[in-house]
Amino acid sequence: MRILAAGASGFLGSRLIERLRAGGHEVVQLVRHPARNPGQVHWHPAAGQLDPTAVAGTDAVVNLAGAGVGDQRWTERYRELLRTSRVDTTRTLAETIAALPSADRPAVLLNASAIGWYGDTGDRPVSEDAPAGDGFLANMCRVWEAATGPAENAGVRVVRLRTGYALHREAGFLKPQLLPFRLGIGGPLAGGRQWMPWISLADWLAAVEFLLGREDIAGPVNVVGPAPVTNTEFTRELGAALHRPAVMPVPGFALKILLGGLATEALSSARVLPGVLPRAGFTYRHPDLASALRAALHDD
């Protein structure tokens, strides 16, 4: 396949490009800086600018672009950046795809989304057919996913990747927890009752590649492992994997001081189950949290 990728400089995107290229695919990156080699194409998504010739003739577009949810405190300015960095990129890609002659359009757009779509579900399990919830992330995901509409209306297969906590020691949800756990001061967050839908990095990469080739799958896909756990269970498994105690609880007010608005979302419960992937025959390499954490802590 010839694949056009946006947001490929992040941790997940860079690992995905490595996997796709190793699998024989040609991957061209969309970059905001001047293109430095033939494998890059400059674009300006905030201004809606993308040369349509960069998209024409590609087999697939993968869009993972968006400012990091945990990179900064959620000031009003950063909330706006979280939203626009996702919606502007998605809209620019979808509108460019739709404007192409049908013969030149890619067959599929795989567009990032998040489990934030569901809001706080408490103990209630949800799969892809559940409606959007409430809160900042849910509202952002609703607008984000809607921005794929032009491509979908033009007849392109659109898959919306509602990703959970992708586990790896170098990034995401797991990285900031490792030091306190290794120091023996890790513990459940704000009581630990909230549900956490996780997925190993290896399974996330395999799932995205799987979805690229499945012409019968479109719409939202929960890219999560088959067995979500509560934060208390996650804490216990992480402590065991690191051979450290995990008994020092972190109160909610402390998280709010440290994280600001992000704490509200970090403490929400999302018991998100994968529906589409198992029905389609996807096989998880790490179907349980213990094996996923071992891979996250030790595998390259």
* pLDDT tens-digit map of 121-135: 999 999 999 999 999
CATH class held by domain 2-298 = alpha beta
State how far the Cα of 163 lies from the Cα of 204, in Å rounded to an integer: 8
Domain boundaries, the chain: 2-298
pLDDT band at 177; cut points 50, 70, 90: confident
| Confidence (pTM) | 0.94
Contact 13, 2 (CB under 8 A): no
Question: What average pLDDT score do residues 189-194 get?
Answer: 86
How many CB atoms are located within 10 Å of the residue 290 CB? Answer: 12
Q: What angle do CA 195, 200, 204 make, to 5 degrees?
A: 105
DSSP 78-143: HHHHHHHHHHHHHHHHHHHHHHS-GGGS-SEEEEEEEGGGG---TT--B-TTSPP-SSHHHHHHHH
Distances (CA, A) of 151 to 110, 211, 226, 236: 11, 17, 30, 44
* Amino acid 294: pLDDT: 96
* Amino acid 300: pLDDT: 56
pLDDT band at 259; cut points 50, 70, 90: low
State how far the Cα of 4 lies from the Cα of 52, in Å rounded to an integer: 12
* pLDDT tens-digit map of 32-51: 999 888 899 999 999 999 99
Average pLDDT, the chain: 92
pLDDT band at 266; cut points 50, 70, 90: low
* Amino acid 261: pLDDT: 56
* Amino acid 284: pLDDT: 98
How many CB atoms are located within 10 Å of the residue 47 CB? Answer: 9
* pLDDT tens-digit map of 158-168: 999 999 999 99
Determine which helix (DSSP H) or strand (DSSP E) holds 293, and give its type and residue range: helix 289-298
Closest CA to 206 of 128, 285, 279, 276: 285
